[in-house]
Amino acid sequence: MTTTAVLGGGISGLSAGYYLLRRFGKPLTIYEASPRVGGWIRTEWHKERGFIFETGPRTIRPKGVAGANTLELVEQLKLPVKPIRSSHVAARNRMLYAKGQVCMLPNSPKGLIATVPPFTKPLYRALLHDLTTGGTVAKNEDESIYSFAERRFGKEIADYAISPMICGICAGDAREISVRFLMDSLFEKEQKYGGVIKGVLYSRLNKNEDKDKDVDRPIDEPSNLYKQAVQEKWAMYSLTDGLEQLPRALRKYLGEHDVNVQLSSRCNNLSFSSDGARLGLRNAELPVSHVVSSLPAYQLAPLVRQQHPSLCAQLLEIPYVDVVVVNLQYNSDQLLKQNGFGLLVPPVENLPVLGVIFDSCCFDMAGNTILTVMMGGKWFEQWFGHQPSQKELRDTAQQHVRKILNIKEEPTFSRVHLLHKCIPQYTVGHKRRVQQIRDYIRNYKLPLSLCGAAYDGVGINDVILSARRQVELLPMPQTH
Ligand SMILES: Cc1cc2nc3c(=O)[nH]c(=O)nc-3n(C[C@H](O)[C@H](O)[C@H](O)COP(=O)(O)OP(=O)(O)OC[C@H]3O[C@@H](n4cnc5c(N)ncnc54)[C@H](O)[C@@H]3O)c2cc1C
């Protein structure tokens, strides 16, 4: 009998389980080290007071192939969604805290010609810069997203648009993160046509150009929920009882279809032979035919160290950062001067805060103001050292909320979470690194597939799609 094991019960491992079940049926087991499923997706319910705290992700984007794929899953699991439409204040208003003030980012074409703080020039000047600057002479394989933005659009855009965006997405330093992480296609166009705008215009004229790209290929007939999201112009969405409903519903679905989800089951070793793999679990060795690992790369690395030290070393080259998440609840809903999704703090401001999310502007929180302060990331150690106390972290968050948002009230309720090594960093060379890791696995014919946030994108949509694509690459068993 052929058996498949999935390592990790976060959203990618559960999704891998779902797609494996759909493609091959049983037998299949998911091994999760902790006593719960969901990994970084975690919702704290305060139903009696009408609000929730999300300690990890809080919204999902419906756009693109990956967005459509998640909506298909959400529809199949019959989960109730809370959409935010593009006309909603949380979709329109995004802010920066820069140069001592909260600045609203331009959200209409008018913003291109006006000078909007913190920028000192109208944004069309950045576009002119790109049009009048030649392309790089030597073809680059990769560079940092900061250096790309600075070359094409100038230093102000790199400092006040790109760097805070990178903080918001992966808590990282734009000077280290690969341009291919978010701007792969713009970078390719610049390399090919000598400019971003030129490249975009040429490829619009030559519509077939992107046709063959795997990432743009629709997976299925769009689900009804995806059609609804397009028709109603959703900018993002969550689930009625918070995002943790998604891993919980997946676990329930898998359980109902006889997939075994074993909690408190840490895999501590992984070895391979010509007829399969062996998982080390507590004191036992379990033979399986194939392993799908959804573990963070640094957690998978020690499992393969003994038999494949070079694979272990390559996995360890993917760095991770620590993020502090502080959830705050205030009894009044009249505290924010400006409504919106929240604000980001550009790293040039040199503050421990990466950003503040205005949760109660996004979703109804029954008359409470709910804020989430994100801190640390790439700069965690610089600000907090090795073992900061909960009090120190809470005080730092509150002090910055007071200063930035001018909120004098004390929160009624708060929670501090230190998320250790929670977000992988796609630093310059990441794409090549992942290719080498997958080449190694292919060359040694290891019965191992890799999915999860370490490889093909760090958002929820990315990791669900990554799980699906890895499962779809597996050969169908031979029937005799
Ligand atoms: C603070 C924060 C905010 C975010 N905000 C958003 C957002 O708003 N929108 C969005 O789309 N994305 C967001 N993300 C990203 C999103 O949360 C992640 O992409 C996603 O949760 C990663 O899921 P995963 O299953 O790949 O990894 P994980 O959640 O890390 O799951 C891995 C699982 O493997 C288990 N495990 C580890 N070692 C072993 C072992 N040896 N044996 C067995 N099991 C093991 C772990 O316990 C864990 O449950 C955010 C992330 C963070 C940290």
Which one-letter amino acid corresponds to residue 352?
Answer: P
Cα of 320 from ligand 1 centre, angstroms: 12
The pLDDT, as a whole number, for residue 109 is 84
Buried b (16+ CB within 10 A) or exposed e, 409-436: eebeebbbbbbeebbbbbbbebbebbee
The residue length of the chain stands at 480
* The domain made up of 320-424 is a member of CATH 2.20.28.160: no
Cα R_g (the chain), whole angstroms: 23
Task: Give the residue range(s) of CATH 3.50.50.60 domains in the chain.
Answer: 4-37+244-318+427-472
Cα of 408 from ligand 1 centre, angstroms: 34
Nearest residue by C-alpha to atom 20 in ligand 1: 460
CA-CA distances (angstroms) from residue 292 to 14, 126, 201, 404, 451?
11, 45, 41, 45, 7
Atom of ligand 1 lying closest to residue 453 CA: 26
* The domain made up of 4-37+244-318+427-472 is a member of CATH 3.60.20.10: no
| Cα 287 from Cα 245, distance rounded (Å) | 32
Cα of 453 from ligand 1 centre, angstroms: 7
| Cα 298 from Cα 425, distance rounded (Å) | 12
Q: Which overall architecture, per CATH, does domain 103-216 show?
A: Orthogonal Bundle (1.10)
Cα of 424 from ligand 1 centre, angstroms: 10
Which residues approach ligand 1 with their CB closer than 6 A? 7-13, 31-34, 39-41, 56-60, 266-267, 294-296, 299, 323, 325, 419, 422-423, 452-453, 458-461, 463
DSSP labels, 93-114: -EEEEETTEEEEPP-STHHHHS
Cα of 292 from ligand 1 centre, angstroms: 15
Task: Give the residue range(s) of CATH 3.90.660.20 domains in the chain.
Answer: 320-424
Task: Give the residue range(s) of CATH 1.10.3110.10 domains in the chain.
Answer: 103-216
Nearest residue by C-alpha to atom 50 in ligand 1: 57
Query: Which is nearest to 441 in space by CA: 339, 320, 330, 293?
Result: 293
197, 127 in Cβ contact below 8 A?
yes
Mutate which of 263, 295, 321 for ligand 1? The one with the most ligand atoms within 8 Å of its CB, which is 295
Mutate which of 12, 32, 40 for ligand 1? The one with the most ligand atoms within 8 Å of its CB, which is 40
The pLDDT, as a whole number, for residue 218 is 58
Q: Largest Cα–Cα distance in the chain? A: 73
Strand order in the sheet with 276-281: 267-273, 276-281, 284-288
Cα of 41 from ligand 1 centre, angstroms: 7
Cα of 283 from ligand 1 centre, angstroms: 27
Strand order in the sheet with 320-330: 101-104, 94-98, 342-344, 353-358, 369-377, 320-330, 413-424
Walking along the chain (480 residues) 10 residues at a time, the average pLDDT comes out as 89 98 92 98 94 98 96 98 97 97 90 90 92 73 96 96 97 97 91 91 76 56 95 98 98 97 97 94 93 98 98 98 98 95 98 98 96 98 96 98 96 97 98 97 97 98 98 78
CA-CA distances (angstroms) from residue 244 to 40, 52, 53, 77, 238?
9, 11, 11, 13, 10
| Cα 464 from Cα 219, distance rounded (Å) | 13
Atom of ligand 1 lying closest to residue 40 CA: 29
Partners of residue 322 on adjacent β-strands: 377
| For the chain, the helix, strand and coil percentages under 3-state DSSP, each to the nearest 5 | 40, 25, 35
